[in-house]
A = this chain, B = another copy of it.
Amino acid sequence: MIKRAMVNRPVAKSIERRSGVSLWRQIADQILHSIAIGDFVENAALPPEMALADRYGVNRHTVRAAIAALVQEGVLRAEQGRGTFVLSRKRLSYPIGARTRFSAGLQGQASERRSVLLEAIVEPASRRVADALKLARGADVIRLEARGEADGQSVSRATSWFEARRFAGIDAAMAETGSITASLERFGVSDYLRQSTVLSARHADAADLADLDLQPGAIVLVTVAVNVTPDGQPIQFAETRFPAERVELKLSAL
């Protein structure tokens, strides 16, 4: 009953027409994927446009549109007469575990890593936030909007909520230290754990595109997490968006 495969060559993925996603966008996504899994190697030349057109069963101009988009994104470089070359570095691998902070654990992967506070706002808690933080609905919470950068590229976009009464001034601490962990220590929280994390994915919306410097049609990984003190008291509720083309999440300490 079991079969034996004769050869072991890469699967030829095909393309969906009249799908609402243009062919050039689908091909651009597949090229990105091929780079990510090491099918197209860094610094090497892509197959010629005619060969790609043949592989995907489309016109050469359609392939050119895909390549143009990736050149625009800084993933490829095209040189007339020579070929098209892969520039992209590998995706950043974010560790996620009970005690892993987002800004930690990236040693060696990116030389410059920082978190930029975009906005701090006091607002009444929505039902979702109130439930997560175990507050009364409508209680004041502080919402922090922050962007994570590595080597000058945007790699994360986080929205997090804290109880306003307990953590008044956390925005200033964040702006100063650039770290949630360091900021929480000023409020007497020396240790905290990741209670739950829920993971999903969707297309980037307009805000994501602007904040993460993405091209339309990009995909974001979304984590929704609740952090608690060791005795189980919720202190932070956070939704973080990661550009799927630049980041993968490594679940550690499982």
A120 touches which of B1, B69, B123, B249 (Cβ 8 Å) = B1
B254 touches A215 (CB 8 A): no
B202 touches A29 (CB 8 A): yes
A254 touches B98 (CB 8 A): yes
Per-residue CB contact flags for chain A residues 26-38 toward chain B (1 = under 8 Å, else 0) read 1011100100111
- Overall SS of chain A's interface: mixed
A203 touches which of B175, B219, B248 (Cβ 8 Å) = B219
- Asked if A196 lies at the interface with its beta carbon under 8 angstroms from chain B, I say yes
- Asked if A8 lies at the interface with its beta carbon under 8 angstroms from chain B, I say yes
List chain B residues, Cβ under 8 A from A18. Answer: 216
Number of copies: 2
List chain B residues, Cβ under 8 A from A217. Answer: 16, 19-21
Q: In chain A, residues 115-136, which have Cβ atoms closer than 8 Å to a Cβ of chain B?
A: 119-124, 126, 128
A123 touches B203 (CB 8 A): no
- Asked if A97 lies at the interface with its beta carbon under 8 angstroms from chain B, I say yes
Alpha-carbon separation in the docked complex, A124 to B171 (Å): 55
A37, closest chain B residue (CB)? B128
List chain B residues, Cβ under 8 A from A36. Answer: 200
With A1-B172, A21-B217, A219-B219 given, name 9 new contacts (CB 8 A): A19-B25, A20-B69, A21-B21, A21-B25, A93-B198, A194-B254, A196-B251, A196-B252, A199-B249
Q: Give the 6 A-B residue pairs with the shortest CB-CB distance, closest first.
A: A19-B216, A20-B25, A201-B201, A16-B216, A5-B123, A197-B251
